[in-house]
Structure 1
Amino acid sequence: MACNDDWQVAGRRKGAARRGKQASNLKQDSHQVSDCKPDKQKIINATNELRGEGFWMEWKDLLSERLLPGSSEQNGKVSPQHCVCYGLGHFASCASARYQLAMLLLLLETLQIPAGRCSVYDPVFSESEREALEELGFTVLTENEEGKRGVYHPTLFYLMHCGKALYNNLLWRNWTPQTLPKIIIIGNSFHGIQERMLQREFERDYSFLSNIVSACDETPLPCSPRFLDVFNDTALVRFPLENLNKLPECTWADPSEPLYQHCQDLEIIQKEKRS
């Protein structure tokens, strides 16, 4: 990807989800290589800019209320101790990706998660981007997990505009009513994904998403008009045990690893397809 750091105010919300999808595909293009070095000052400026946005203050209040220990709403629910971020994209050259990185920094600060407990990965990262993330204190993964990460501690997954297969793989890898409550997602609305797909294709290709959508606790996260292309269709998604226990027992029987044989546009880079 050539260095293109232009930033424009987003227009009306109509088509925002579609533009977000296009942005996701662009970020996930394995043939694009960023030749730009990250500008630390731009990251700092983006973080400070978001910090002053009214919609961020709404995010902060909501997440503090629902996820931090001792909050009135939390009521025994898990608070994330670790964080995983997939699919960030070329934040050195892409303003949208840089704002998403800035938001991640604000989330870690608010939820009191040290940067060293946040693992980040995108197969398109350049070497200079990996180095910049390490300098910020992040743990930069070296293997493409395709979202198939097992969870052992309460973990926040930050998955902005990621492909549906990434969410589906994460659910498959942790497909028990004991483990799913440890997963907290800030990313695409599951209900939004369902609404934009034919139901038969949703059930056939992304069975874990389709089986869990009725049991997840989903809270839409607001956004200002200027940042619609960056944070549109974003939600806080949790999996309360009381909801999971209402699903039929057969839901949890022998989950087979997803293969996506019928998907022409998978929206993620699979590790076997990269040299």
Structure 2
Amino acid sequence: MSDSGGEWQVARRRKGASRSSKSLQVSLLVAASASVSKPPEDTDTEDRPEKVGEGRSCQRLECVCYGLGPFSSCVASRYQLAMLLLLLDIPLKDCSVYDPAFSSAEMDVLRELGLTVLTENEEGKRLANNPTFFYLMHCGKALYNNLLWKNWSTQCLPLMVIIGNSFSGMRERTTEKEFKRDYSYISKAVDFSVERKLPCPSRLIDVFNDTAVITFPSNSLNRLPQSTWTEPPEPLYQHSSDLEIILKETQS
């Protein structure tokens, strides 16, 4: 694994990236630009395509990646890491990554790449203080739900762009009772968030299927009743037998 960091750096700089990667990159940047390149209260340019980076001189753009998986042994995880590196339009040091499955060697590789490796299991409960990409490829529903809960306000949600599994797809694959009971924040967000499905080449269907760019336009949030945002309770998942995420260890 000692030379892997250099190999990844070379791969990231290759100009001959595949058409599928370029297509995903362009689709993501177009879908996300309106949300991360302007303050959330500005709705006059909601649908105007811009380059990510325009108009954000006063706001730091960040990226958080959860659940990437053991990329040294998993081909799908390597593809997802490669796509993350291709998509980044920000300094690598401003991208934080975490997965409890990372080995010490994998964490060393990620640090060599310039990424920031988190040491604490946040369970997805990360507050967006600046415009932030959250890269959550095939993560468990509880992780998405926790992230939404932590940012459940008209100030924080518009700062987020989620690149991960479609909320509407989650709803289709989950019983209505379970979805509303255990994943109430996803259940609510699916009605006011904006999803843009990303194209997925057939040969990568197991890697990027059901992938969407999810944003939270301020104008949609501001039309909801104020009670929507009042003291949102922290998710507990008392009735869920399979959370699909690893919880942090509780202190005895």
When normalised by structure 2's length, the TM-score is 0.85
CA change 1:122–1:173 in 2 (3 A) is same
Is residue 2:131 matched to residue 1:154? Answer: yes
Q: Select 1:192's aligned residue among 165, 169, 172.
A: 169
Q: Select 1:88's aligned residue among 30, 45, 68.
A: 68
Q: Select 2:17's aligned residue among 52, 56, 60.
A: 52
Q: Structure 1 residues 140-149 or 251-260, which shifts more?
A: 251-260
Residue 177 of structure 1, CA deviation:
1.0
Q: Indicate the residue corresponding to 1:21 in structure 2.
A: none
- SS of the equivalent of 2:249 reads helix
Is residue 2:236 matched to residue 1:264? Answer: no
Residue 40 of structure 1, CA deviation:
4.1
Unpaired runs of at least 5, structure 2: 39-46
- SS of the equivalent of 1:272 reads coil
Identity of matched residues, %: 52
Preserved CA contact (<8 Å) 1:211 1:251: no
Instruction: Give distance in 1, aligned partners of 2:183 and 2:221.
Output: 18
Preserved CA contact (<8 Å) 2:137 2:163: yes
Instruction: Give distance in 2, aligned partners of 1:204 and 1:257.
Output: 13
- SS of the equivalent of 2:213 reads strand
Matches within 5 A, 1:1-275: 39-40=4-5, 43=8, 52-68=17-33, 69=37, 72-74=48-50, 81-108=61-88, 112-272=89-249
Residue 56 of structure 1, CA deviation:
2.2
Q: How many residues align?
A: 237
1:10-54 Cα deviation digits (max 9, x unpaired):
xxxxxxxxxxxxxxxxxxxxxxxxxx7783476468757996333
Instruction: Give distance in 1, aligned partners of 2:185 and 2:84.
Output: 26
CA change 1:77–1:197 in 2 (3 A) is farther
Instruction: Give distance in 2, aligned partners of 1:181 and 1:104.
Output: 21
CA change 1:138–1:48 in 2 (3 A) is closer
Q: Indicate the residue corresponding to 1:14 in structure 2.
A: none
Unpaired runs of at least 5, structure 1: 1-35
Residue 62 of structure 1, CA deviation:
2.4
Instruction: Give distance in 1, aligned partners of 2:250 and 2:202.
Output: 37
Instruction: Give distance in 1, aligned partners of 2:113 and 2:175.
Output: 41
Cα RMSD after superposing both structures: 2.8
Instruction: Give distance in 1, aligned partners of 2:81 and 2:190.
Output: 27
Q: Structure 1 residues 244-253 or 41-50, which shifts more?
A: 41-50
